[in-house]
A = this chain, B = another copy of it.
Amino acid sequence: MYIGAIEAGGTKIVCGIGNEQGEIIDRVSFPTLQPSETLPRIVEYFRGKELKSIGVGTFGPINIDKSSPEYGYVTTTPKPGWSNYPFLGELKKAFDLPFGWDTDVNAAALGEAKWGAAKGLDSCLYYTVGTGIGVGVYAEQRLIHGFMHPEGGHVLVRRHAEDHYEGFCPYHNDCLEGLAAGPALEKRWGVKGAELGADHPAWAMEAYYIGQALSQAILLLAPKKIILGGGVMHQEQLFPLIRQEVQRTLNGYVNVPQLAGGIDSYIVPPGLGDNAGLSGAVALGINALQEFAGQRNS
């Protein structure tokens, strides 16, 4: 059984074919240009592929309210051509298939719960720390939405006493994203994060912010695994620093093995590596197919 998968990021779009085991059988990628250039390439790739369904995990914000006439739109992105764009609707014009539709990070959380670092668990959080910071929330065996999808990259955090950088978020200045996403590292230290040594003080400050956000989320949701992906998290020295910050801020209040001796296997990189997003889109496609079958049978 072949499931189509679209991982739409701000800089590139990855399309692929997966199966029920979450294996990626084929993949292509191309830059995210205007929809008028990009959509035909997506459609061309999937044409004739004998798919059962397609899952879309995309950059946002997006409309995920099935009762809204704008369900399936990319909404307020600054990305040229994509603001208020009916992404899902255009795909549906090309393919008469069940479609899954969610954010890239929700897709990654689902993929990790199905086949990755949170396999077999009924809850996990997936953070991506890169150009921006996004969060996917999986709890009680399902992806969580409310009036919109999670936007937990913008939570306020306490400022580090030695941090004099004002933050770059156009809405909040010094929210988590404004202080800890890739551009903040570059603006604060004058060079890209990847060029800072592993023992540079930048990383302790970075962990101070990310650890606080994780502690907030742990107190609210108690996820059974926290997965940290994205470009900044390729700096592996961040993981032990972040784990320490989580323990420091919670200070023993939440007395479970995951937050004590077991923390090295609690806050972890993606089990699916760089395939987390694409595999997650496959998982969205599988869910959409099951939902479709359920509706037909009821």
Contact = CB atoms under 8 A, between A and B. Distances in A.
Contacts of A145: 123, 139-140, 222
Contacts of A156: 157-158, 212, 215-216, 249
Interface stretch (A39-47, A94-102, A253-261): A253-261
7 contacts: A135-B220, A140-B144, A148-B222, A154-B219, A156-B157, A156-B212, A171-B251
Copies of this chain, whole number: 2
A101 to B, nearest CB: 16
A146 interface: yes
Interface in A210-237: 212, 215-217, 219-224
Contact of A220 (B147, B159, B220): B220
**Nearest 3 Cβ contacts at the A-B interface:** A146-B222, A171-B253, A152-B220
Contacts of A158: 156, 158-159
A137 interface: yes
Given A123-B145, A140-B145, 19 more contacts: A123-B146, A137-B220, A137-B221, A144-B144, A146-B223, A147-B223, A147-B258, A148-B222, A150-B222, A151-B220, A151-B254, A156-B215, A171-B251, A171-B252, A171-B253, A172-B249, A216-B216, A217-B220, A220-B220
Contacts of A172: 249-251, 253
A243 interface: no
A142 interface: yes
B151 A256 contact: no
A139 B149 CA distance: 12
A222 B123 contact: no
B251 A221 contact: no
Contacts of A219: 150-155
A290 interface: no
A21 interface: no
